[in-house]
Chain A
Amino acid sequence: MKFFFVHLMPYADLDLSYTEKYNSAWVTLPNSYYDPVKGHSLYNRYLDELEYADELGFDGICVNEHHQNAYGLMPTPGVTAGALARRTKRAKIAVLGRALPLLNNPLTVAEEYAMIDNITGGRLVAGFVRGIGAEYHASGANPAESHERFHEAHDLILRAWTEPGPFPFYGKYYQLNYVNTWPRPYQQPHPPVWIPSQGSRETIEWASAPSRRYTYLQTFSPLAALAKYMDMYKEEAAKQGYEATPEQLGWSVPAYVADTDEQAYREAKPHIENLANKFLRMPLEMLLPPGYLSLQSMKGVMSAKGTITGGPQTIDDLLKKGMFLCGSPETLGQQIEQYQRQIGFGYLLPMLQFATLPHDLTKRNLELFARTVVPTLRHLGEAPAHAGAVT
């Protein structure tokens, strides 16, 4: 199994009493809450943490894209990836990912990714996402076109990477007389593509198609959802006549490790609760603009409305749902091993800094995870994952 450290770069200095005045840390929270002097320190602290993960031997480090929010300060993740490209030496740099439907010209991503891939000599992992619903309020991109734009932009980027240029491209949303991307990617035929998602059959069918076999990442979801969608991927692959490998399945989950279960729980509690209740806070209308989900999925959500926007979550709620891994090295090792054997993922993407978790605890979390959890789990997931439908 391989381990990628995920950082969201939250605005950890956020005045948490904002909730008395505003209903979201996204889009409508005034940017007067952001202090650039504190931001300067945070960016550099977070880059240090990502670089430290490289030194500690993590297989990869991950950055991502979000707009107009306190949850993640990387509206342009290429800047972060670029800063890391020269300061890290071994770890893959995964951008998880660029939100393609928000772009007027998707070739900017083909270019940006190719640059990172060239500078690092092939250490880039190329993530493609639609972005969460809030991005559509922030950018003006039409959520009703989200799926179509994603697919068209993806096709354009992959062709730009793999077909000799120049060639013309005439899609419904993007039209270009000359597609001729310089530089071409370092990795041939193209960098590995990962698809982070909260889970949907449409995405899994698309990602698992034999021509793609993209690594599918389940992000910040209950364990039940993780198992369901990983099984779905394996079933889809089996339907398409091949066996999914562990490398096609990844799980992204916040994690915290300390010497004892009790210590881990006590130290992580305020910060993980801030993540759920302060940094991820947004109304349903912001999270799910029309068209973001398929009509069928949206009808389901609207019928079950009460259960989705439920009240504040405690650390116990998150632990119970399997949305957070927290405990001693032994506890984490056992849990992850058990889940890996059941579910068969080959990538684990622990988010070892979250919300307000301070630098000293983040640093220790990284060290303990790398030195005491990773070594016991390395050997897992080296055989093909077994399709739920077959066993």
Chain B
Amino acid sequence: MADLRHSIESIAGCRVSVQRAGAGQPLLYLHGPRGAGRWLPFMEALSRNFELIVPEHPGFGLSETPEWLDNIGDVAYFYLDFIEGLGLDQVHLVGASLGGWVAAELAVRDQSSLATLTLVAAAGIHVPGVQKGDIFLWSAQELARNLFYDQKLAEAMLAEQPNQEELDIQVKNRLTTAKLAWQPRLYNVHLAKWLHRITLPTLILWGAEDRLIPPQYGPAFHDLIPNSRLEILPDCGHLPQVEKMTEFATSVTRFLQGVRS
């Protein structure tokens, strides 16, 4: 991560924290409820083939919480401004969990600056009869256990000793997640109606053992987005980018390069 660059960008009156590394076609990664404060191995892997751009959403991490931030649509419009403001084009948009929801909302609104869309265990829709996990009622124990298939990873997460600044950021991230996703829980009643508008090559990735957004949601997105393919990763929970880092990076890179060539 020799070339990891950190900057503060002012977009739509909001100062957001952005990490960047690598060169090539831009890959914009939109994080989930736990933020993107740390540079993780999967980011390092993706930055070998792309210019990886990892902002922290408004209301998360080191980014400001703007007055206008009320709902997921606000975040989607913000990222349209962000793409425009940074002069990005032919963007590979990759979103995980809450970030996947933002990515889908964005693509439904305007996909003209995007090359591809990748949804990783994305929130945003509701499948009748398939209950999502309750991230707001789970204890720290339950959250860790339910996020991972490999319980060694859960134990590692529980063993972490965050410092005061990290604890404060956790509280802030949780608040913004609630603001965006409390009710309806982790979805927008109206999104599914318009997902057919997404004509981009789309990859949908899911962990077969996801206990937060169960794997039935993968086929549901696949049915709603015309030009999409679905990959289910075995022995994997809600965070394929962490739990199956190598497979994740390989799948995404292969998909994006396949589209480019």
Are A290 and B170 closer than 8 Å at their CB atoms?
no
Nearest-CB distance from B160 to chain A (Å)? 14
Bitwise interface map of B from 167 to 207 toward A, beta carbon under 8 Å scored 1, else 0: 11011101111110011010000000000000000000000
Bitwise interface map of B from 64 to 93 toward A, beta carbon under 8 Å scored 1, else 0: 000000000000000000000000000000
Are B183 and A140 closer than 8 Å at their CB atoms?
yes
A190 to B185, CA, bound (A): 38
Bitwise interface map of A from 289 to 303 toward B, beta carbon under 8 Å scored 1, else 0: 111000100110011
Nearest-CB distance from B238 to chain A (Å)? 18
The B-contacting residues of A in range 325-345, CB under 8 angstroms, are none
Nearest-CB distance from B98 to chain A (Å)? 13
Are B167 and A289 closer than 8 Å at their CB atoms?
no
B139 within 8 A of A: yes
A98 to B167, CA, bound (A): 33
- With an 8 Å Cβ cutoff, the count of chain B residues facing the other chain is 19
Bitwise interface map of A from 196 to 225 toward B, beta carbon under 8 Å scored 1, else 0: 000000000000000000000000000000
Residues of B within 8 A of A166 (CB): none
A66 within 8 A of B: no
Residues of A within 8 A of B182 (CB): 136, 140, 142-144, 289
Closest to B164 in A: A303
Residues of A within 8 A of B174 (CB): 290
Residues of A within 8 A of B175 (CB): 144, 290-291, 295, 298
Q: How many A-B residue pairs have CB under 8 A?
A: 54
B39 within 8 A of A: no
Closest to A134 in B: B137
A295 to B170, CA, bound (A): 11
Residues of A within 8 A of B136 (CB): 137, 285, 289-290
A380 within 8 A of B: no
Closest to A309 in B: B139
Residues of A within 8 A of B137 (CB): 27-28, 137, 283, 285-286
Residues of A within 8 A of B178 (CB): 142-144, 289-291
Mostly, the A contact residues are helix
Closest to A283 in B: B139
Nearest-CB distance from B188 to chain A (Å)? 14
Residues of B within 8 A of A145 (CB): 179
A145 to B70, CA, bound (A): 9
A370 to B139, CA, bound (A): 44
Are A299 and B138 closer than 8 Å at their CB atoms?
no
A56 within 8 A of B: no
Q: Which of A284, A291, A303 contacts B179 (CB 8 A)?
A: A291
Nearest-CB distance from A292 to chain B (Å)? 9
Nearest-CB distance from B65 to chain A (Å)? 9
Residues of B within 8 A of A295 (CB): 171-172, 175
Residue among B167, B174, B182 facing the most chain A CB atoms (10 A cut-off): B182
A289 to B135, CA, bound (A): 11
A141 within 8 A of B: yes
Residues of A within 8 A of B176 (CB): 144
Residues of B within 8 A of A291 (CB): 175, 178-179
Residues of A within 8 A of B170 (CB): 302
Nearest-CB distance from A135 to chain B (Å)? 13
Are A285 and B139 closer than 8 Å at their CB atoms?
yes
Residues of B within 8 A of A144 (CB): 175-176, 178-179, 182
A303 to B168, CA, bound (A): 9
Bitwise interface map of B from 148 to 178 toward A, beta carbon under 8 Å scored 1, else 0: 0000000000000000100110111011111
Which residues of B line the A interface, CB within 8 A?
Answer: 136-139, 164, 167-168, 170-172, 174-179, 182-183, 185
* 28 A-B residue pairs with CB within 8 Å: A137-B137, A140-B182, A140-B183, A140-B185, A142-B178, A142-B179, A143-B178, A144-B175, A144-B176, A144-B178, A145-B179, A283-B137, A283-B139, A284-B139, A285-B138, A289-B136, A289-B178, A289-B182, A290-B136, A290-B171, A290-B175, A291-B175, A298-B171, A298-B175, A299-B168, A302-B171, A303-B164, A303-B167
